[in-house]
Structure 1
């Protein structure tokens, strides 16, 4: 049986059918379990004179039926269909195929359009029998799409009922414990919250200064660290100031999850849809102090995008791996004019000082840009590239690295359970690290799929060739060009720079 993480799918060529199974989570009921789905499909195959083979089974585990692009096994089926390598795909039910009407119809269209027979056993749908009559498939797909929406409404109503009873749901905020499903103040942490509001409201300190004071207090043993055990950061202080939880208010339905291009995305609901529960739990700071803090200059915890920074998202610190950001400063001259500077800074050092990272050798943005452009021009002139072969070799290396990375992250993820059971890590750390590993696995799997897509590779070759030509033009915004050519740039403490390209220049 092949699961979503498997990449060796050559054995599929020996079989003209595939069985697709999916479970949303490990909590799915027995009737929706993978073995149950396989047994049902196996019985249908035997009844219809097919020889069952477990190598023809694909599994998407812990994958929601509402998320199309994240279901790697389904993407592989569609790729096989486009390559004309299969003749039939078997599903236990349309619920396993998709829980989104648009996705279900798109999957069926791709399969039928490439001569693949589609069978869903529970609904009795067989494209070979139905022909062009899509009414049955569309009707059952519509019912399948409605199920998660109805379930979401029921869950939301149940959560709202819990909150009305004074119960707390979600992550336990700093400064509180949860006892019998209700928040109670944890005094040692609550004192840190009160001190932050005092510095902010009474002393007029900014987020950066408060961060440095907190980390200095942590080093001296006078202030508790954040629950992560790491240093306090500016963004943590901003969230504490903005969060109404600390004045006893709980807000439900502040955010919702929507699907964009086959992936989940969290968005903020309009305020009129919020469910606000005043005096829901004991307050750490008064409502007056919270309002005073939030009536100041608007607290913005979102990452600012600087359009003029052509290296945004490309620069990494050589020591800690954090992003390198561009800091602006200025000095007023005697004649009233200003001199402006833009220079590179490690974001971890900027947020937490020496607790986060070391300070880099000062590098001016303009000088850095000039250096990178000259390096790219020099590289383009010295090296004669066969882009197709070069990119193909690089892709093979990347595929191997990604496969190794996926195996490594999965091994680490499995090892977390042992660490948690042996009480070497607590529940909070277990959940945080598990989420990180799962995210890394998902990102690696997505990249792996793209690297195996020949059409993507052909587009990449053309884009890279055009990007090198654009570098030669002066006064051009090079952001998109740099993204095509460069994977990332490492800026080391001593000011040295290492460039990782999106292809291998040494071949």
Structure 2
């Protein structure tokens, strides 16, 4: 008997009862029964994910895998709009299922049957679906903007210092007594006491005042508070928008949604000048903005200049945070006329002693020049892979276990983030999440973390494979070393890429000890010990 799979999709709680997963499944089962086809719970696919890239959705991936294994011969949809709402995605997936895997595709509402109808009809239906989806999205955004202009607070979470209440049919911000006092202290320390952001972080942490997340304070949190116009009673909206970004010009299915900040000229404010009770007066707030520009040396933002060639490699030995490059506020220069820069634990920089006790400052340029020189000489002294294996066999095996440990941690982070993403989507589906921008922002954070972890896991898997063939690894290291020495420091991206292949990590300790681990899994000190 022919086996028929059923695919249902619901991406929003605002879909009508007609489009509920239960209704879709029932309609598809009835159709299969009328056709004399067999269905089963193991080939019913319920997709509740949303996102720009259809191929990343787990339900779609499972459908393709099961089709390849011969689990079904037909797949039924209540409507092609449930299949995909992007015409490019629809046609690509249709060709994979129908043309490549010989799966019959049925859409009940559209009266489409791939055994009878050609691709032109499929394309027309898909094009209409995409147009309708885009129109609904525009209407939803317009409705949200209008709601904000009327004075509604449309965010999912109230800013620190406020909580949300419904008054006269509007969602408004109401000051929280305890947190209000902290917000005022932050502005007072910054404007009247002339304290910097880091000094304020240390002050709050020393006083044991919990941060908005009930943890320790960091510089980013202070910066956001100092810039948030909600504290002067203004309800600002349309600051961010979601854009579709294509990551591979050769494959348009590889894309993602990113949250980007609109130009200030496009930000919108409620029709009322003041929509809720202010915590900070206008003069104090504007003084804080002027001080931020003055202390920051002018307009903030823009593209950051790449300086730290060890970014992504160098870590704090105490807390594991990245070690970042900072420039001296005194504007002094080194003996070569370069601005003085130093490396410091990023958590220490953001959160002070409460974040990390590693207060060591490492002069950047002398460290960079000396490390590249030492690394080049040390690796050049290795004459063959056989010599390396003979002298360091035990250590190489030990470092393989370190590799496996990191891979295990990455897998756990991927699992944890997927759980968080699932919970976020569940909240949205249950109606607990009303702010589309906030939802997209949090969703992107989890998705970005997953992608980064998966990328690093793939790198470690490849590194593990290469280390099993020490001869191949040795030859690659020697080739990359030649490339490194041919580059100058202006070739930042190329040099950084090579360094990431030559070095596994650099750890900086509070006492100034620096451990540099090569791609062989051995430190430079261990390689030099011969």
TM-score computed with the length of structure 1 as normaliser: 0.71
Q: Which of the residues 126, 150, 156 maps onto 1:141?
A: 126
Alpha-carbon contact 2:149-2:269 (below 8 Å) kept = no
Distance 1:400 1:316, change over 3 A: closer
Distance 1:353 1:253, change over 3 A: same
Shift of 1:357: 1.1
1:367 to 2:367 alignment: yes
Q: Which is worse superposed, 88-97 or 403-412?
A: 403-412
Residue 358 of structure 2: SS of its match in structure 1? coil
Rounded Cα–Cα distance in structure 2 between residues aligned with 1:144 and 1:78: 22
Mapping of residues 5-404 of structure 1, within 5 Å: 18-24=5-11, 30-61=17-48, 63-64=49-50, 66-78=52-64, 88-117=74-103, 118-131=105-118, 133-134=119-120, 136-170=121-155, 171-180=157-166, 181-216=171-206, 218-219=207-208, 224-261=209-246, 262-277=255-270, 278-296=273-291, 298=293, 305-329=304-328, 342-359=341-358, 361-365=360-364, 366-367=366-367, 369-370=371-372, 382=385
Distance 1:146 1:186, change over 3 A: same
Rounded Cα–Cα distance in structure 2 between residues aligned with 1:450 and 1:80: 26
Q: RMSD of the TM alignment (CA)?
A: 5.0
Q: How many residue pairs are counted as aligned between the two chains? A: 458
Residue 144 of structure 1: SS of its match in structure 2? helix
Shift of 1:328: 3.5
Distance 1:59 1:466, change over 3 A: farther
Distance 1:252 1:500, change over 3 A: farther
Shift of 1:264: 1.7
Alpha-carbon contact 1:24-1:65 (below 8 Å) kept = no
Q: Which is worse superposed, 138-147 or 238-247?
A: 138-147
Distance 1:372 1:238, change over 3 A: farther
Alpha-carbon contact 1:16-1:87 (below 8 Å) kept = yes
Rounded Cα–Cα distance in structure 1 between residues aligned with 2:348 and 2:504: 23
Q: Deviations over 1:187-210 (max 9, x none)?
A: 432233223223333343322223
Distance 1:43 1:490, change over 3 A: farther
Residue 215 of structure 1: SS of its match in structure 2? helix
Residue 327 of structure 1: SS of its match in structure 2? strand
Rounded Cα–Cα distance in structure 2 between residues aligned with 1:190 and 1:59: 45
Q: Deviations over 1:59-117 (max 9, x none)?
A: 433x1164424413324545677899975543332122112223223322433442534
Q: Which of the residues 482, 489, 495 maps onto 1:472?
A: 482
Distance 1:406 1:66, change over 3 A: closer
Residue 116 of structure 2: SS of its match in structure 1? helix
Residue 9 of structure 2: SS of its match in structure 1? strand
Rounded Cα–Cα distance in structure 1 between residues aligned with 2:128 and 2:333: 74
Q: Deviations over 1:30-68 (max 9, x none)?
A: 54444443443333334334332333334433x116442
Q: Deviations over 1:405-457 (max 9, x none)?
A: 666667799999xxxxxxxxxxxxxx99xx699927981799399969x99x9
Shift of 1:265: 0.9
Residue 287 of structure 2: SS of its match in structure 1? helix
Q: Deviations over 1:231-272 (max 9, x none)?
A: 221112211222211112111111111222332211222334
Alpha-carbon contact 2:11-2:50 (below 8 Å) kept = yes
Distance 1:405 1:237, change over 3 A: closer
Partner of 1:427: none
Q: Which is worse superposed, 20-29 or 401-410?
A: 401-410
Distance 1:167 1:470, change over 3 A: same
Alpha-carbon contact 1:66-1:98 (below 8 Å) kept = no
Rounded Cα–Cα distance in structure 2 between residues aligned with 1:121 and 1:449: 43
Alpha-carbon contact 2:7-2:76 (below 8 Å) kept = yes
Shift of 1:172: 0.6
Distance 1:314 1:265, change over 3 A: same
Shift of 1:185: 2.2
Alpha-carbon contact 1:239-1:301 (below 8 Å) kept = no
Rounded Cα–Cα distance in structure 1 between residues aligned with 2:106 and 2:239: 41
Shift of 1:362: 4.9
Distance 1:448 1:57, change over 3 A: farther
Q: Which is worse superposed, 95-104 or 76-85?
A: 76-85
Rounded Cα–Cα distance in structure 1 between residues aligned with 2:443 and 2:505: 21
Distance 1:355 1:290, change over 3 A: same
Distance 1:130 1:15, change over 3 A: closer
Residue 128 of structure 1: SS of its match in structure 2? coil
Q: Deviations over 1:136-194 (max 9, x none)?
A: 32232233223443333333344344434433221211122223232122343223322
Rounded Cα–Cα distance in structure 2 between residues aligned with 1:502 and 1:46: 61
Distance 1:332 1:58, change over 3 A: closer
For structure 1, list consecutive stretches of 5 or more residues without a partner in the other structure.
1-13, 386-392, 417-430
Rounded Cα–Cα distance in structure 2 between residues aligned with 1:372 and 1:295: 46
TM-score computed with the length of structure 2 as normaliser: 0.68
Alpha-carbon contact 2:315-2:322 (below 8 Å) kept = yes
Alpha-carbon contact 1:467-1:481 (below 8 Å) kept = no
Rounded Cα–Cα distance in structure 2 between residues aligned with 1:21 and 1:335: 64
Residue 289 of structure 1: SS of its match in structure 2? helix
